[in-house]
Structure 1
Amino acid sequence: MHALITGASRGIGRGIAEHLASQGWHLLISGRNLESLEEARQALLSLGAAQVLTVPAEMASDQDLQAILDAQSAWSSRLDALILSAGVGTAGTVAEYPSHRYDKTFAVDVRAPFKLIQGTLPALRAAAAARPEIGAKVIALASIAGVHAEPGLAAYGAAKAALISLIAGLNAEESASGVSGTALSPGYVDTEMSAWTRQTIPQQSMIPVSDLVEIVAALLRMSPRTVLSNIVLNRAGEHGGRA
């Protein structure tokens, strides 16, 4: 079984990579920092991964995205899972959000996933054809901010809403042939990316990474006859749709 995981050196991507390593998967992982990727590679091999290849990449760079795609095509003609965990997002109001930050957010959170899905579709289709009882899965880390608007998260939420729509479009076009996608849209998850908000949202109230890993594990076991385009994960308590 072969999986490509972006953002795999820490946070949710790392948690998913560790689970797949423990199941003996072949992994191709990417992240921005070469040193962190090498540490992750060694850890994943120690957990039981059959193989771990690394590609350092900045998701806003077309050159780096192509390097990931080139590495994947040289690595394996089949891809059982594409895990899109890399993301970026900062708070800011519509009135004050800088345009360069808006562009970076959409480049990383929308354009990069689109390019990676598009580029790996032949390998995903090949895996689905080889294992029709399971198919091939695309799993993208979105956010509850892409489902429910929240003050200060308009740009981030817009990007994640576009990602959710991208996955729904993928399912409309490809799921009948065994390639299906799921966007995961959680509230605040207990990772470094959420550290900035711990003064107002207690760490112990955030969603644990392990819960998202459990969902991903279940999705990868499901038959291709069922499609879950988006799964929303709320934090416990009276938060409604808030992150």
Structure 2
Amino acid sequence: MARNRPVAEILAPRLLNTFLLVGFSALIAIPISFGFGIAAAVKRDSFFDIASSALIIMAMAIPEFVIATILILIFSIFLRILPAVSIISGNDTVIQILANAALPIGVLSIVMIAHIMRVMRTSMIDILDSDFIKVGTFRGLSFSRLVFRHALPSALPPALNVTAMSLASLLGGVVVIERVFNYPGLGTLTLQAIHDRDMPVVQATVIIFTATYVGLGMLADFASSLADPSLRRIRV
């Protein structure tokens, strides 16, 4: 029991809100980071590659709460098109939650894109410079086939690993972001429980964070083994 209520009853709505926040951030970040990472590798040393690399370094160097503050200044104070505080009730639909949580989703997406795109670009460049890609070029294979049929599968395992780890790290960053935007998720609940010394709630949230982190790590290893051509079983 916690606050004269079952812990599960307290955690359930907050857990759903946090998973919605992280889930939609991932839906935005993963396709963008993979696509831009491949494009940056293919157009190496171009203006797009240099500009995107500079933005990636900035996004990785700037703390999440600073990015959140900048977005609040731009979209909430200057442009006044997005709410600075995520006011969500239990009766809100998913669309209403997304409208009120646009800024925290944007912050988490930016952080995730920076990490995944950097690894995707580096991995693709390494594969494109490998010998078997050069052999394919000498044999007259089209560049698009070399990139998407041969190079991409070999470059996916590192990107999948960092994607899973980025998702896991979002659970740590979501505590700060939820606090900045007053988003009613698991992170805000954890901070409030620590302040109130509500140990059952703190223990439950720590277990959820830990289990999710371990589960995503195992999922990353499994996905990498499936995506890596060198680890696939050769069928005769």
TM-score normalized by the length of structure 1: 0.27
Higher relative strand content: 1
Q: Which has the higher helix share?
A: 2
Q: TM-score, normalised by structure 2?
A: 0.28
